[in-house]
Every structure is written in C-alpha cells, then in structure tokens.
Amino acid sequence: MGLTKTKEFTKTQNEIAAMAKALAHPARIAILQFLAKQKSCVCGDIVEELPLAQSTVSQHLKELKSVGLIKGEIEGPAVCYCIDLKALAKIKSIFGELFSEVEQNTCC
Amino acid sequence: MGLTKTKEFTKTQNEIAAMAKALAHPARIAILQFLAKQKSCVCGDIVEELPLAQSTVSQHLKELKSVGLIKGEIEGPAVCYCIDLKALAKIKSIFGELFSEVEQNTCC
DNA sequence: AACCTTTATCGTATTTTTACGATTAATAGA
DNA sequence: TCTATTAATCGTAAAAATACGATAAAGGTT
C-alpha cells in the first residue's frame, strides 16, 4: 500500500480499509467464490483452480486469514480452508453501515 | 498493487476487486464520510479535514473518481466533489451479491 | 528411518501505492 | 493586466503488494 498514515485516521476508518484491502484482488475474490460453491476446501484444490503459483496462492490465503474471512484447519498433511461466517457477517454490517452512512449525502 | 494477472480472472472478479481497492485506504473512507455528512464538498475543505498534503488528497479523489464513486463539478476556481448515488447503489449491489454468494458456504 | 505429499516461508524482482514539494493551469478579483 | 486562490499534475522517494522459484516444515506412507 505504500506508506500510509494509519494513526491519523479513526479505528473504524482503518478497519473498513483493511477489510476492503483483503477484497482488493481478483485472486482473493476467486478464492472466496470457490470456497463458497465447492464442497472441497483443500488448499491444493484452490491452487489447481487459480492461475497462480502455489506460493502466491498461499500468500493470498494468508491475507484473507489475517482479516478473519477464512480459517484453515489441518487435515493430515493438507489444510482445509473455510469461510468464517461470523467474520463475513461482520464485514457485511461494516460495509452496510458505511454505505447507508454515505447514502445520506446532504451536499450538492 | 504490484504486478497482477488481471487477464486470468473474470470481469466480475476484477470489477469487485477494483471497487474494493478504491475503498482500501482510510483516507478515502474519511473522504466519503466527510462528503456524506458535510454540506460543503469543496476540495479545499476536504484537504483541511484530512491530515494529508493537498496533492495527496487530490490523488485520493482521483482514485475515487476513477471508479465513479464521486464526481467533481467546477465551481469558479474551486471544485465541488459529490458522491454519485448511482455508483454507490451499484457498489452496494455488487458487494451484496458477493456476500450472499459466499454465504452459501457448502464446505466444512 | 526413508520417502512422498502438502503447505508455509524465505529471498528476490517487479510493479504499484502512498506521500510530499514544486510547478502548472484555470478562475476570480483588484 | 497583475495577483491571489484553488486544484491538478509532475517528479521523486519510500514502502507495500504481487509473483515466482527454492527451501523448509509437518504429516502420512512404505
């Protein structure tokens, strides 16, 4: 993101931005959509689905995990990634709040 | 964003990611919130409100404009920036669709 | 134990983002 | 016209994001 003056903004503003950042790459959108529609959620299957190297997919998974959107469970040698529905609900409400706030547009 | 393999993903995935990227900085969230609650929407007032240099704010405004979230109208020597409610509605529906899609989580 | 499979991490190159000061452009007013 | 105000753009430095190959780690299997 380059240098960002995080401390100069409110907690909420930073939180919304962090959530948005997690969604700010097509590969991560693709991962979420794949996890939603697929019964399998093994990391290897995600790697096969995406046009990216294994290490790159792993990085994207890490970012989604960092905001809590997905969680990984170790299953033998593999890892099963799942969407965290609680985190999803939180994101939904955070964005919903922002959108309805912005909708009360009084200027112009 | 670094190098991104845009062409390898669907149009929708890229579109969602682009919208999210526009929201992926606290300064841009602050701008939207300011425009929502303030009667004034003159660029200079936004610059005063934010802890950033004028040129930096101008860059953030440009990014918000690039996804259509705001539009600028020249008023004499100043520019009045306003939220585009139509674009906002589109973003709302795009994110809403994604969230409800992801909510149908079948795995795990 | 030796080996294979699977995933995370490391190192690194490239590109993009963020930020600022300086300059330019455009409009209003004296 | 000259000047002041306002905002966009340019140039640039620093930091973060993206991507990949190589390596490490962790768990099964033979």
The model's pLDDT over B57-79, given as tens digits with 9 standing for 90+, comes to 999 999 999 999 999 999 889 99
What is the C-alpha to C-alpha distance for residues A93 and A15, in angstroms, rounded to an integer?
Answer: 12
Record: fold of B11-99: Arc Repressor Mutant, subunit A (1.10.10)
d(CA B38, CA A105): 8
pLDDT of residue A1: 62
Dig out the tokens for A74 from the structure.
């170790």
The domain made up of A9-95 has a fold known as Arc Repressor Mutant, subunit A (1.10.10)
Tell me what the mean pLDDT of segment B36-50 comes to. 92
CA B45 to chain A, closest CA, distance in angstroms equals 13
From chain A, pick out residues whose CB is under 8 angstroms from the CB of B33. 13, 98, 101-102
Compare all CA atoms of chain A with the CA of B25 and give the residue at the minimum distance.
A17
Dihedral sign, Cα of residue B91, residue B94, residue B97, residue B98: negative
| Protein-strand C interface by C-beta, 7 A | A 1-5, 42-44, 47, 54-55, 58-59, 61-62, 72, 77-79; B 1-4, 21, 24-25, 27, 52-56, 59-60, 63, 74, 76-77
Binned at pLDDT 50, 70 and 90, residue A62 comes out as very high
A10 to B20: CB separation less than 8 angstroms, yes or no = no
Share of chain A above pLDDT 90, in %: 88
Domain spans in chain B, listed from the N-terminal domain onward: 11-99
